[in-house]
């Protein structure tokens, strides 16, 4: 089952990749305020937007692993 991108996982993944909200919003073509409100837990984003965010983070090397990491995200390293 694919992980559900929660506000906390979104914020942690973005931080792990050292991206600010403006960069992520630009690439995923969503308003910065929408992303900030989602990460703060004040609003929910459409499923298609959550999928776009998750793809962006995964392309950057983020692995969503709440069971393996206290933060819920890990950065995949090349072998």
Distance CA 1, CA 29 (A): 26
Q: Which residues pair with 73 in a beta bridge?
A: 64
pTM of the model: 0.87
Which whole-number Å values give the CA distances from 8 to 31, 77, 78, 79, in the listed order? 18, 22, 25, 28
pLDDT of residue 28: 95
- Look at the domain 7-75 and name its fold: 434 Repressor (Amino-terminal Domain) (1.10.260)
Distance CA 21, CA 3 (A): 21
Contact 52, 61 (CB under 8 A): no
Residue ranges per structural domain of the chain: 7-75
pLDDT of residue 79: 53
pLDDT profile of the chain (79 residues), mean per 10: 80 96 97 98 95 95 84 80
pLDDT of residue 3: 56
């Amino acid at each position: 089952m694919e992980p559900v991108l929660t506000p906390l996982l979104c914020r942690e993944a973005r931080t792990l990749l050292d991206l600010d909200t403006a960069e992520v919003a630009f690439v995923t073509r969503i308003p910065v305020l929408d992303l900030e409100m989602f990460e703060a837990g004040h609003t929910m984003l459409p499923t298609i937007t959550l999928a776009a965010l998750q793809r962006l983070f995964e392309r950057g090397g983020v692995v969503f692993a709440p069971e393996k990491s206290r933060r819920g995200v890990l950065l995949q390293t090349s072998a």
